[in-house]
Amino acid sequence: MLTLVQRQPRVAAVSGDKPAGLRRRMVEQVAVWRSRSRQLYALSRLDDRLLADIGLTREKRVLACSTLVWWHP
Protein backbone atom coordinates (compact mmCIF):
# COMPACT_ATOMS: atom_id res chain seq x y z
CA MET A 1 0.00 0.00 0.00
CA LEU A 2 1.38 3.37 -1.01
CA THR A 3 1.05 6.21 1.46
CA LEU A 4 1.82 9.73 0.34
CA VAL A 5 3.08 12.12 2.97
CA GLN A 6 3.29 15.80 2.27
CA ARG A 7 6.40 17.32 3.76
CA GLN A 8 6.27 20.71 5.36
CA PRO A 9 8.82 23.23 4.05
CA ARG A 10 11.72 23.95 6.33
CA VAL A 11 11.49 27.44 7.74
CA ALA A 12 14.44 29.01 9.50
CA ALA A 13 13.87 31.59 12.20
CA VAL A 14 15.00 35.02 11.13
CA SER A 15 14.21 37.05 14.20
CA GLY A 16 17.33 38.42 15.83
CA ASP A 17 19.56 37.48 12.89
CA LYS A 18 22.03 40.01 11.69
CA PRO A 19 21.35 41.33 8.19
CA ALA A 20 24.76 40.14 6.98
CA GLY A 21 24.01 36.55 8.05
CA LEU A 22 20.64 36.63 6.36
CA ARG A 23 22.17 38.06 3.19
CA ARG A 24 24.86 35.34 3.22
CA ARG A 25 22.26 32.57 3.55
CA MET A 26 20.21 34.09 0.74
CA VAL A 27 23.24 34.21 -1.56
CA GLU A 28 24.09 30.60 -0.69
CA GLN A 29 20.52 29.48 -1.42
CA VAL A 30 20.48 31.24 -4.79
CA ALA A 31 23.78 29.49 -5.60
CA VAL A 32 22.16 26.13 -4.78
CA TRP A 33 19.21 26.94 -7.06
CA ARG A 34 21.52 27.97 -9.91
CA SER A 35 23.49 24.75 -9.51
CA ARG A 36 20.30 22.66 -9.62
CA SER A 37 19.15 24.59 -12.68
CA ARG A 38 22.42 23.86 -14.51
CA GLN A 39 22.25 20.17 -13.54
CA LEU A 40 18.66 19.82 -14.74
CA TYR A 41 19.54 21.55 -18.01
CA ALA A 42 22.45 19.14 -18.53
CA LEU A 43 20.17 16.21 -17.71
CA SER A 44 17.61 17.42 -20.24
CA ARG A 45 20.26 17.36 -22.97
CA LEU A 46 21.36 13.71 -22.50
CA ASP A 47 20.62 11.20 -25.23
CA ASP A 48 19.09 7.75 -24.65
CA ARG A 49 22.47 6.01 -24.46
CA LEU A 50 23.73 8.30 -21.72
CA LEU A 51 20.41 8.08 -19.87
CA ALA A 52 20.72 4.27 -19.92
CA ASP A 53 24.27 4.60 -18.53
CA ILE A 54 22.98 6.42 -15.47
CA GLY A 55 19.89 4.24 -15.13
CA LEU A 56 17.20 6.70 -16.20
CA THR A 57 14.41 6.48 -18.72
CA ARG A 58 13.03 9.32 -20.79
CA GLU A 59 9.96 9.42 -18.56
CA LYS A 60 12.04 9.74 -15.40
CA ARG A 61 14.11 12.47 -17.05
CA VAL A 62 10.97 14.42 -17.95
CA LEU A 63 9.72 14.06 -14.39
CA ALA A 64 13.06 15.18 -12.91
CA CYS A 65 13.39 18.12 -15.28
CA SER A 66 9.87 19.33 -14.53
CA THR A 67 10.59 19.91 -10.84
CA LEU A 68 11.11 23.44 -9.60
CA VAL A 69 14.72 24.27 -8.80
CA TRP A 70 13.80 25.82 -5.45
CA TRP A 71 11.64 22.86 -4.36
CA HIS A 72 13.67 19.87 -3.34
CA PRO A 73 11.76 17.35 -1.21
Note down pLDDT in tens along the chain; length 73 residues: 445 555 666 656 555 557 888 999 999 999 998 998 999 999 999 999 999 999 999 999 999 888 887 766 5
Interatomic CA distance for residues 56 and 49, integer angstroms: 10
- Whole-prediction pTM: 0.63
